[in-house]
Amino acid sequence: MSLGRRPAIPDLAHLARGIRARERAVIARAITLIESRRSDHQKAARRLVQELLPLTGKAIRVGITGAPGVGKSTTIDALGSFLTDKGYKVAVLAVDPSSARSGGSILADKTRMPRLASDANAFVRPSPSSGTLGGVAAKTRESMLICEAAGYDVVMVETIGTGQSETMVADMTDFFLVLMLPGAGDELQGLKKGVIEIADMLAINKTDGDNVKRAKAAAAEYRAALHILNPRSLNWSLPVVTLDHRERMSKAGELDTRRREQQVKWMWAMLEDRVRERLKSDPALRAKLPRIEGAVAAGRMSPATAVDEIAAALGV
């Protein structure tokens, strides 16, 4: 085989069968296909997801975020192992920090989740964020659907916790957990209101040993602060501590509504990605962008006029 030959597109029928059989190696290959930036791989991935779509939508989707060092991976390892011990099948999509220069990733979640990594009823997949806003890999939504089609009961998405907008993970999950550290006096000063308003639960982590008193004090301060915020749901009050959440939301019809909203937001996110990719891949358009940016920066062209010119070049 020629050294310059590109890898062939995987057999989609083989991938679909392996996913249905919950073969973890096949699931991993399918997610690799989804994350590929090759246009032919992207088209194949879309066909695969479309074929598997009838098998999706039954899992509980949980987003977990928090500042670096708060113990997200340790919490997921413990929670996921608790669930698998109860007979549930758990998938974890853990987004790793990526190098802004190389796009490389630490990809160390399997060592930080040792119990789940060796659990036959669990699947752990680290993916590089590649600079995506909010610390969510660009293809996390599609990866979630692959895990659901494989029959996993719970799909957890761990974010970096340092992104500009954690709204992205809240928009693709049913339950959004924000982990906090003890020491509310300092944390409340820098607490991002937007993150708390889209949370379904606050959990204060690392509350053992000398941290017990600080954790209790932190919980009291968070509870006092939460009453001034607008709740994400009219049918669920944000606890500071799940787990009647799914039952209560389902009875009220809000879970179905949230799932429909997730689908629409996914559509718009994919459209934005497609337009952004077109901007990067079209040589003629890419050649125009430096001139347009320079004109805007120098004040010779308004941003609105610049957008009109770019949109015209895109044919929109």
Annotated domain spans of the chain: 56-252, 269-314
Residue type, 308: D
Q: Return all residues near 292 (Cβ < 8 A) that are at least 6 apart.
A: 301, 306, 309, 310
- Taking the mean position of all CA atoms in its chain, how far away is CA 255? 18
pLDDT for 100 equals 39
pLDDT for 165 equals 47
Long-range contacts formed by 260-265: CB under 8 A, 24+ apart: 261/171, 262/171, 262/172, 265/171, 265/172
Task: Identify the bridge partners of residue 66 per DSSP, sorted by sequence position.
Answer: 179
Instruction: Please give the Cα distance from 286 to 165 (Å, whole number).
Output: 27
pLDDT for 311 equals 84
Do 241 and 105 contact (CB within 8 A), yes or no?
A: no
Higher pLDDT, 132 or 149: 149
Q: Return all residues near 214 (Cβ < 8 A) that are at least 6 apart.
A: 182, 183
Mean pLDDT (the chain) is 75
> Which of 49-58, 95-104, 147-156, 170-179 is predicted with the least confidence, judged by mean pLDDT?
95-104
pLDDT for 224 equals 56
Residue range 107-126: mean pLDDT, rounded: 81
pLDDT for 134 equals 41
Instruction: Please give the Cα distance from 239 to 192 (Å, whole number).
Output: 17
- Of the candidates 136, 143, 128, 126, which has an alpha carbon nearest to the alpha carbon of residue 49? 143
Q: Is the pLDDT of residue 241 over 60?
A: no
Q: Is the pLDDT of residue 194 over 80?
A: no
Q: With left for phi above 0 and alpha for psi between -120 and 50, is residue 206 left, alpha or beta?
A: left
- Taking the mean position of all CA atoms in its chain, how far away is CA 200? 16
CATH tag, 56-252: 3.40.50.300
pLDDT above 90 covers a percentage of the chain that reads: 24
pLDDT above 70 covers a percentage of the chain that reads: 65
Do 6 and 39 contact (CB within 8 A), yes or no?
A: no
Do 179 and 186 contact (CB within 8 A), yes or no?
A: no
Strand ranges for 102-227 from DSSP E: 122-128, 154-158, 175-180, 201-204
Q: Is the pLDDT of residue 226 over 60?
A: no
Q: Return all residues near 33 (Cβ < 8 A) that are at least 6 apart.
A: 9, 10, 15, 41, 44, 45, 48
Instruction: Please give the Cα distance from 149 to 59 (Å, whole number).
Output: 9
Q: How far are the Cα atoms of 11, 130, 132, 180, 182 from residue 160, in angstroms, in the given order?
A: 33, 11, 10, 14, 19
Higher pLDDT, 188 or 257: 257
Do 153 and 223 contact (CB within 8 A), yes or no?
A: no
Q: Which residue has the tokens 């600080």?
A: 214
Residue range 165-186: mean pLDDT, rounded: 72
